[in-house]
Amino acid sequence: MIALIVLLDHIIRLLFFLGAAYFLVLSISNIVWLRLSSHRPRITRGRMVSVLIPARDEEKNIGPCLDSLLDQTYSNYEIVVLDDQSTDRTWEVLSDYARRNPGRVRAISGEPLPGRGWSGKPHAMQQLSRHARGDYLLFTDADTVHGRESIAWAVTNMEWHKADCVSGYVFQELNTIGEQFIVPATYIMSAMVLPLWLIAALPAPGLSFAIGQMIIFRRSAFEAIGGYARVAEKISDDLAIARELKRAGYRQVFLDIRRHVRCRMYEGYRASFNGVSKNIYDLARHRTMFFAAAVTLLVTFVVLPLALLPIQILTGSPAAQLTFLCVLFFLAAWALVLYDRGLRWWTPFLYPVLFAHLLYMAWWSFGRASSGHGVIWKGRTLQ
Distance CA 83, CA 368 (A): 29
Average pLDDT, the chain: 91
Q: 23 and 151: one domain?
A: no
Is the residue at 184 inside a domain? no
Interval 121-134 mean pLDDT:
97
Mean of pLDDT values over 167-171: 97
Q: Residue 133: what pLDDT? A: 97
The mean pLDDT of 298-303, rounded to a whole number, is 84
Q: How confident is the model at residue 307 (pLDDT cuts 50, 70, 90)?
A: confident
Whether residues 160 and 248 share a domain: the answer is yes
Whether 150 maps to a domain, the answer reads: yes
Domain-terminating residue out of 220, 237, 265: 265
Across 298-312, b (16+ Cβ under 10 Å) vs e yields beebbbebbebbeeb
In a shared domain, residues 93 and 125: yes
Residue 130 lies in a domain: yes
Mark whether 149 and 91 lie in a shared domain. Answer: yes
Q: Taking residues 142-155, report their average pLDDT.
A: 98
Q: List the single range of 5-9, 69-73, 193-197 with lowest mean pLDDT.
A: 5-9
Please list the residues that pair with 145 across neighbouring strands.
262
Question: How many separate domains does the chain show?
Answer: 2
Query: CA-CA distance, 157 to 33, in Å (whole number)?
Result: 14
Q: Residue 10 domain-assigned?
A: yes
- 67 lies in some domain: yes
Asked if the model's pLDDT at residue 282 lies above 90, the reply is no
Q: Which of 148, 260, 157 is nearest to 216 (CA)?
A: 157
CATH code of the domain in which 165 resides: 3.90.550.10
Whole-number pLDDT of residue 71: 96
353 located within any domain: yes
Centre a 10 Å sphere on the Cβ of residue 63 and count the other Cβ atoms it contains: 15
pLDDT over 90 at 285, yes or no = no
Regarding predicted confidence, which is higher, 119 or 11? 119
* pLDDT average, residue stretch 77-98: 97
Domain that holds residue 42: 38-170+211-265
Choose between 93 and 281: higher pLDDT. 93
Q: Is 70 within a domain?
A: yes
pLDDT band at 13 (very low <50, low <70, confident <90, very high): confident
Asked if residue 178 belongs to a domain, the reply is: no
Q: What is the pLDDT of residue 335?
A: 93
Nearest to 358 by CA among 268, 296, 305, 295: 295
Residue 87 has pLDDT above 90, yes or no: yes
- Whether residues 303 and 158 fall in one domain: no
- 124 plus 102 within the same structural domain: yes
The arithmetic mean of pLDDT across residues 95-109, rounded, is 96
* pLDDT tens-digit series, residues 308-351: 888 888 888 888 888 898 899 999 999 999 999 999 889 988 88
The yes-or-no verdict on residue 4 having pLDDT over 70 is no
Q: Does 199 score more than 70 pLDDT? A: yes
